[in-house]
Amino acid sequence: MSEMPVENINSVRPKRSDKKGLFAGLAVAAVLVALGTFVFSESVETLDVKAEELGLEGFSLLPAPFPEYAVPGMEDPLVTFLLGVFSVVLVLVVAFAVGRFLSSAHRARGVSSA
């Protein structure tokens, strides 16, 4: 493998296939969010059902911020889907920012990337 000098890393533009991969990943993430929102959110949690059958009651040390995984006032499935897509994009942006920060820290120390 040939190594690229550290100063030339910033001059490399993302390839078209990299952009296609990014958009394909976002599309897959949106489909998974849609499945989770519209299909899997209607399923019953097995542990809760079994606990009720056995007559067990749970207790909480602290109040749950989102009881039953619902944000008060945002129970509409479309809003839930949009929040899921927003969350995926937010995680992508944070991951990208951390990657940029780490690569700039490596450049500042003179560490070459393979």
What pLDDT, in 10s, does the model give residues 70-98? 777 777 888 888 888 888 889 888 988 89
The answer to whether residues 113 and 103 touch, using CB atoms and an 8 Å cutoff, is yes
> In the structure, what pLDDT confidence band is assigned to residue 102 with cuts at 50, 70 and 90?
confident
Give tens-digit pLDDT for 35-44: 888 887 777 6
Q: Give yes or no for residue 4 having a pLDDT over 80.
A: no
Residue 22 confidence (pLDDT): 80
Mean pLDDT across the chain: 77
Q: What is residue 49's predicted lDDT score, i.e. its pLDDT? A: 81
Between the alpha carbon of residue 88 and those of residues 43, 101, 105, 106, 112, the distances in Å are 22, 20, 26, 27, 31
Whole-prediction pTM value? 0.56
Over residues 5-24, the mean pLDDT reads 65
User: Which pLDDT band, with edges at 50, 70 and 90, does 3 fall under?
Assistant: low
